[in-house]
Amino acid sequence: MTFAAAIAQISPKLGDLKSNLALYEEKIRAAAKEKVDLLLFPELSLTGYFLRDMVPSVALRLSSPEIATLKRLSREVDFVAGLVEESSDYRFFNAAVYFEGGEIRHVHRKVYLPTYGMFDEQRYFARGDRLRAFDSKFGRMAVLICEDLWHPSTVYLAALDGALAILCPSTSPLRGITEGEPRDDNARYWELINRTYAETFSLYLVYGNRTGFEDGVGFWGGSEIVDPFGEKIAKARYYEEDFIVGQVDLDSVRRKRTMAPLLRDEDIDLTINELMRIRGRLPQKAEGKRRKVKDK
């Protein structure tokens, strides 16, 4: 299966659903003209990122009129939208929704919410509690949102669940420039893990970052599509809006996994057993620390 994947590297407006929805429609129409099959938008690109107390006002139920509009647009091009999802019990999630042929195919709620440095996601969002690969008309995929991908366990689980491609919407900020480098330090690290994960787990990695400025913070862009051999097949510009397209050939996943059958040889029972051992030991350590405090 070969298909054209694209990334809309955009600069959304903070808290402006109407404006950002119009931007989505513009990019989807452009993708349709270029015969794109699957389009990835960045993390929270329908709302902006530093929402803070605006989260409830921009949150969408899956039954919202805006979601109906996105469903309609997906009849032209399948795409992944980054938005705030409100659950039936009034929790808010940093979510990525995969729209396919007028319907919702998959919803991923961000599992790892950063709360360090400039980030404060756990204060405003509930944490996702599952990670699943899913079947699309192109093949089996998984969605991971930004910080999710910094945890190797997420890609490992997705690959074991049969994912041939990882779609990663991101909102990655600038974090300092190294002298002589055309990119910032955050870009360097992201490019390293994208290539490492793609090659190690023999899958495609489609990484869509945003650009622009928000609340005084800049975003470096640099979206990319990396194949199972660690080669970049499409690369967006740094620091400015862009639109890139790359041909994803899932047969190359088969070729790479035949050459390096690491997933075939993975001992899942060993992993589970050792994780259970480690998990069982942690409470004992914590209990021991509490006893020492009491003794003092």
Q: In whole angstroms, what is the distance from residue 144 CA to residue 154 CA?
A: 8
Q: What is the pTM of this model?
A: 0.92
Instruction: State both tokens at 226.
Output: 């990396």
CATH fold of 2-262: Nitrilase/N-carbamoyl-D-aminoacid amidohydrolase (3.60.110)
Backbone angles phi, psi at 97, to 5 degrees: -115, 125
What pLDDT sits at residue 274? 94
What pLDDT sits at residue 184? 84
Q: In whole angstroms, what is the distance from residue 139 CA to residue 164 CA?
A: 7
Q: In whole angstroms, what is the distance from residue 57 CA to residue 154 CA?
A: 30
Domain boundaries of the chain, sorted by first residue: 2-262, 266-296
Q: In whole angstroms, what is the distance from residue 14 CA to residue 40 CA?
A: 19
Q: What is the pLDDT of residues 110-153, one digit of tens each?
A: 999 999 988 999 999 999 999 999 999 999 999 999 999 999 99
Residue 175's pLDDT band, with cuts at 50, 70 and 90, is confident
The answer to whether residue 294 scores a pLDDT higher than 60 is no
Q: What is the pLDDT of residues 24-48, one digit of tens each?
A: 999 999 999 999 999 999 999 999 9
State mean pLDDT over 174-181. 72
Residue 179's pLDDT band, with cuts at 50, 70 and 90, is low
Give residue 262's Cα distance to chain centre.
24
Chain mean pLDDT for the chain: 93
What pLDDT sits at residue 180? 67
Report the share of the chain in percent with pLDDT over 70.
93
